[in-house]
């Protein structure tokens, strides 16, 4: 079997051209925009429902749960941490732990469903 070298078209590539080609790719793949819209809608809806549930809880329990929400960690990294919250580095490490947990769950679901 003979392989051929990849041939790049002559010319310079600009960021504008790259963005235009990526936008064309997104527009031509069927249902990409619907998928992005649905994901945003579900994400915002789930967070609104979660915040409503937390707000309906009694004050001591609400206080403890609000400490563990990602928004509390983000505001602690940007602003001065609240007296009852975690410091910026502890918050960042907990956010990294959340990311690892979500990636592990996604990997587990992918492996179970792909086989």
Give the tens place of pLDDT for each residue, 82-113: 666 677 788 788 889 989 999 999 999 888 88
Burial of 75 (0-12, 13-18, 19+ CB in 10 A): middle
Contact yes or no for 62/41 (Cβ under 8 A): no
Top-confidence residue, 77 or 99:
99
Total-model pTM: 0.49
| Helix, strand, coil shares, percent, the chain, to 5 | 75, 0, 25
């Amino acid at each position: 079997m003979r392989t051929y070298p990849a041939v790049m078209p002559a010319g310079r590539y600009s960021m504008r051209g790259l963005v235009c080609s990526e936008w064309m790719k997104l527009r031509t793949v069927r249902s990409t925009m619907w998928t992005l819209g649905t994901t945003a809608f579900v994400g915002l809806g789930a967070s609104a429902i979660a915040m409503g549930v937390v707000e309906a809880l009694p004050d001591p329990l609400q206080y403890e749960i609000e400490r563990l929400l990602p928004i509390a960690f983000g505001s602690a990294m940007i602003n001065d941490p609240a007296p009852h919250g975690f410091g910026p580095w502890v918050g960042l490490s907990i956010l990294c732990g959340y990311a690892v947990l979500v990636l592990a769950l996604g990997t587990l679901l992918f492996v179970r469903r792909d086989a």
